[in-house]
């Protein structure tokens, strides 16, 4: 139930009318175009490379009730309308970055969410909204993503939803107060203005559609688009989701404070038309900042998109199917922590959630399984004062290997997020005091399989000015798993080469690592797990991988049973003989291959990674701290 009060000057009721299929398609296509126009406006006017170059932003256009009709992450508006106790008028623009105020519609303070009601002749007809990741929002470390935070108060400035524009007039005092808390206020100002401009662009396009077709037809078309999605998803759920309960578990390696792994457990079953998703059994919230306040509607959208992409990509996704999904997330768990738990490093859990979905949704139909590799979102922050005493601050998202999938290999060093891109090396070197010495895939890091997992990346930074770095990554302790006989992938590593010749392994999550000119960081990401029996991969494909230096000749023989001649071509007779021997000697193929048990990995961790193994999490301490607050 919405608490917000909508103030309309036009009291004429919106009528439900029949919309013919051609008109519906025209309106739906126009809205999709407007959604991509929002992106174009933002990318051309934002300043931070995280938004401008990497596209770390998520737009949507919603109906008058806040349901997303086009977009990516599902609606942010629903959580706002449920909790905002105030008036909404034409010309208002709402700004917030507080996850606890919008039921997790955004999930850490760096994400600034703008929501704008769209009015046509005094009548509310919809919403446009967008959030973007700000490079800095204050807090205890540059980049505002402290790995050692224990409360949200350490992570930067936090503001509940308020009208940054009221009836079209900017609240400049509030904006200036917010910007004063940020290390890069000119970037934040530019990014904020760009997001508002994108939302206004969408609002203008919606008004144009209403002018052309009329408000009744426009609103009825949105209802029809949402209902069309609901009926398509109803059939998809009936065909693809079992009434028998299915469970999957995966683990986050550590919390950046020396504890881990942390368990994520999700179950799924269908009751009639309704799918039940339950995170009961997930570990309690962490003492550190890896908690992820997961909005139920956002998870419904993730689940729906995953189902669509795997089973029926022709379905256009929107919020229409939400009534067909029930989500239960236990209070006080890693996925719904108690205020004021720290949230800044929730990215790892967000990535791990997709691995859990992959393992969950394909169990009844293994031919549709994906391996693991949506495992995290590697970040590097580098900041300091250059020789001109000017502040520089880099926030960069890295990429690992995409998992092997039923219909082909996983891409090497590719983004799992829709529309994300790499920051060009030339851009980094032009705007920041560093040099990129290497940017290459890591041979053999993808899991072997009939469809090979994508290789991770080794991005080597040479720092040119004194400064400090922060690193955020995962899959350094537990590897991304393979499926249907596919092998696990290689784990991530971070290696610092100092100018004095010393070499040190850095944790996957760390802050305040000081660097001097000439220090070099190898930022090595994880690969994607393999899909299917490696002995079924065509020898010619394995040979091509070897020639492309994606797979070594040793791995070709050991994992794929392919023997190459001096010209790196398959020796057909020797290969078939070796493969027959390997088939006879190995055990039964595993549906999921997680690699070695956790306790065995603890014993070999120091030798293999140079790092101490994570300790068993102290859940009582975290729970007690939150209860005392």
Convert the pLDDT of each residue in 218-249 to its tens digit: 999 999 999 999 999 999 999 889 899 999 99
Helix H, strand E, coil C: the string for 60-105 is EEECCCCCEEEECCCCCHHHHHHHCCCEECCCCEEEECCHHHCCCC
**How many angstroms separate the most distant Cα atoms in the chain?**
82
- How do residues 586-609 score in pLDDT, each as one tens digit? 989 999 999 999 999 999 999 999
Range of the domain at 503: 369-416+423-533+589-595
In a shared domain, residues 17 and 120: yes
Is residue 539 assigned to a domain? no
In a shared domain, residues 382 and 504: yes
- Tell me the average pLDDT across 296-317: 84
Surface-to-core class of residue 503, CB atoms within 10 Å of its CB (0-12 exposed, 13-18 middle, 19+ buried): exposed
In a shared domain, residues 264 and 195: no
Domains of the chain: total: 3
More confident residue, 83 or 468: 468
Say how far apart CA 358 and CA 253 lie, in whole Å: 18
Residues 6+ positions from 493 with CB-CB distance below 8 Å = 476, 505, 522, 524, 609
In a shared domain, residues 220 and 281: no
Is residue 560 assigned to a domain? no
pLDDT score, position 621: 65
Is residue 363 assigned to a domain? yes
Is residue 583 assigned to a domain? no
Q: State the alpha helices, DSSP H only, in 283-382.
A: 296-311, 347-361
pLDDT score, position 176: 98
Model confidence at 310, in pLDDT bands (50, 70, 90)?
A: confident
Residue 395, classed as helix, strand or coil, is: strand
pLDDT more than 70, % of the chain: 98
Say how far apart CA 26 and CA 16 lie, in whole Å: 18
Say how far apart CA 309 and CA 240 lie, in whole Å: 13
In a shared domain, residues 193 and 288: no
Domain final residue, candidates 178, 208, 232: 232
Say how far apart CA 215 and CA 479 lie, in whole Å: 53
- How do residues 160-207 score in pLDDT, each as one tens digit? 999 999 999 999 999 999 999 999 999 999 999 999 999 999 999 999
Say how far apart CA 471 and CA 407 lie, in whole Å: 34
pLDDT score, position 1: 60
In a shared domain, residues 197 and 269: no
Say how far apart CA 229 and CA 317 lie, in whole Å: 7
Q: Minimum mean pLDDT among 22-26, 148-152, 351-355, 564-568: which range?
A: 351-355
- How do residues 78-91 score in pLDDT, each as one tens digit? 888 888 989 999 99
Is residue 565 assigned to a domain? no
Domain final residue, candidates 213, 232, 251: 232
Question: What tokens does 208 get?
Answer: 């144009």
In a shared domain, residues 85 and 22: yes
Model confidence at 629, in pLDDT bands (50, 70, 90)?
A: low
Q: What is the mean pLDDT of the chain?
A: 94
pLDDT more than 90, % of the chain: 83
> 104: phi > 0 → left, psi -120 to 50 → alpha, else beta; which?
left
Closest to 117 measured CA to CA, from 105, 129, 131: 129
pLDDT score, position 78: 82
More confident residue, 267 or 621: 267
Q: Minimum mean pLDDT among 105-114, 139-148, 356-365: which range?
A: 356-365
pLDDT score, position 587: 87
Closest to 347 measured CA to CA, from 309, 267, 293, 301: 293
> 431: phi > 0 → left, psi -120 to 50 → alpha, else beta; which?
alpha
Residue 429 C-alpha from the chain's centroid: 26
More confident residue, 250 or 239: 250
Say how far apart CA 86 and CA 163 lie, in whole Å: 10
Is residue 574 assigned to a domain? no
Say how far apart CA 545 and CA 541 lie, in whole Å: 6
- Angle between the N-to-C axes of helices 215-240 and 296-311, in degrees from 0 to 180, rounded to the nearest 10: 70
Check pLDDT > 70 for residue 624: no
Specify the pairing of strand 325-328 against strand 274-278. Answer: parallel
pLDDT score, position 253: 97
In a shared domain, residues 212 and 178: yes
Q: What is the pTM of this model?
A: 0.93
Check pLDDT > 60 for residue 217: yes
In a shared domain, residues 430 and 509: yes
Question: Are 456 and 398 a contacting pair, CB within 8 Å?
Answer: no
Check pLDDT > 70 for residue 402: yes
In a shared domain, residues 140 and 245: no
Say how far apart CA 62 and CA 45 lie, in whole Å: 23
Residue 84's CB is within 10 A of a number of other CB atoms, namely 22
Is residue 457 assigned to a domain? yes
Is residue 582 assigned to a domain? no
Residues 6+ positions from 558 with CB-CB distance below 8 Å = none
pLDDT score, position 459: 96
Question: Are 511 and 558 a contacting pair, CB within 8 Å?
Answer: no
Model confidence at 622, in pLDDT bands (50, 70, 90)?
A: low
In a shared domain, residues 394 and 363: no
More confident residue, 617 or 309: 617
- Tell me the average pLDDT across 260-275: 96
Closest to 448 measured CA to CA, from 560, 545, 357, 547: 560
Question: Are 397 and 347 a contacting pair, CB within 8 Å?
Answer: no
In a shared domain, residues 107 and 213: yes
Say how far apart CA 257 and CA 604 lie, in whole Å: 20
- How do residues 415-434 score in pLDDT, each as one tens digit? 766 677 888 899 999 999 99
């Amino acid at each position: 139930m919405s608490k917000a009060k909508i103030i309309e000057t036009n009291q004429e009721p919106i009528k439900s009318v029949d919309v013919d299929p051609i008109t519906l398609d025209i309106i739906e296509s126009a809205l999709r175009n407007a959604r991509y126009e929002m992106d174009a406006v933002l990318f051309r006017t934002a300043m931070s490379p995280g938004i401008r170059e990497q596209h770390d932003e998520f737009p949507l256009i919603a109906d008058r009730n806040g349901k997303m009709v086009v977009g990516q992450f599902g609606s942010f508006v629903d959580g706002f309308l449920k909790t905002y106790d105030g008036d909404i008028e034409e010309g208002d623009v709402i700004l917030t970055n507080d996850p606890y105020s919008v039921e997790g519609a955004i999930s850490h303070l760096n994400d600034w969410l703008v929501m704008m009601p769209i009015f046509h002749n005094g009548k509310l007809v919809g919403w446009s909204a967008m959030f973007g990741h700000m490079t800095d929002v204050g807090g205890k470390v540059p980049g505002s993503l402290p790995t050692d935070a224990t409360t949200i108060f350490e992570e930067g400035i936090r503001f509940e939803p308020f009208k940054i524009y009221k009836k079209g007039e900017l609240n400049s005092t509030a904006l200036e107060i917010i910007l004063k808390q940020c290390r890069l206020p000119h970037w934040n100002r530019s990014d904020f203005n760009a997001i508002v401009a994108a939302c206004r662009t969408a609002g203008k396009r919606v008004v144009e559609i209403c002018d052309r077709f009329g408000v009744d037809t426009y609103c009825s078309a949105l209802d029809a688009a949402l209902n069309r999605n609901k009926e398509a998803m109803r059939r998809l759920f009936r065909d693809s989701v079992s009434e028998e309960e299915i469970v999957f578990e995966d683990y986050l390696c550590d919390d950046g404070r020396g504890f881990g792994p942390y368990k994520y457990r999700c179950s799924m079953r269908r009751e009639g038309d309704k799918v039940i998703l339950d995170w009961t059994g997930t570990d309690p919230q962490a003492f550190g900042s890896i908690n992820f306040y997961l909005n139920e509607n956002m998870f419904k959208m993730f689940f729906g998109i995953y189902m669509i992409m795997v089973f029926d990509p022709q379905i256009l996704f929107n919020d229409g199917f939400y009534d067909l999904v029930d989500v239960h997330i236990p209070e006080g768990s890693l996925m719904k922590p108690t205020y004021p738990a720290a949230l800044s490093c929730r990215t790892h859990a967000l990535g791990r959630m997709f691995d859990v979905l992959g393992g969950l949704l394909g169990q009844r139909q293994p031919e549709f399984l994906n391996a693991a590799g949506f495992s995290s979102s590697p970040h590097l922050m580098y900041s300091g004062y250059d020789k001109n005493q000017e502040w520089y601050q880099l926030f960069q998202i890295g990429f690992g290997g995409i998992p092997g999938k039923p219909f082909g290999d996983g891409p090497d060093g590719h983004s799992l997020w829709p529309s994300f891109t790499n920051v060009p090396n030339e851009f980094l070197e032009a705007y920041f005091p560093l040099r990129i010495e290497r940017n290459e895939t890591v041979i053999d890091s993808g899991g072997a399989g009939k469809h090979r997992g994508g290789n991770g990346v080794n991005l080597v930074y040479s720092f040119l000015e004194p400064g400090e770095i922060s690193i955020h990554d995962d899959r350094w302790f537990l590897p991304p798993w393979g499926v249907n006989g596919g092998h696990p992938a290689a784990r991530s590593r971070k290696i610092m080469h100092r100018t004095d010749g010393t070499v040190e392994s850095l944790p996957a999550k760390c802050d305040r690592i000081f660097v001097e000119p000439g220090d070099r960081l190898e930022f090595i990401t994880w690969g994607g797990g393999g899909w299917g029996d490696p002995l079924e991969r065509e020898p010619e494909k394995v040979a091509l991988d070897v020639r492309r230096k994606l797979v070594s000749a040793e791995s070709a023989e050991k994992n794929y049973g392919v023997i190459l001649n001096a010209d790196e071509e398959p020796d057909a007779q020797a290969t078939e003989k070796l493969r027959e021997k390997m088939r006879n000697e190995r055990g039964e193929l595993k549906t999921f291959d997680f690699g070695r048990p956790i306790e065995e990995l603890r014993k070999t961790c120091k030798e293999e990674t140079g790092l101490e193994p994570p300790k068993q999490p102290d859940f009582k301490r975290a729970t007690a701290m939150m209860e005392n607050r």
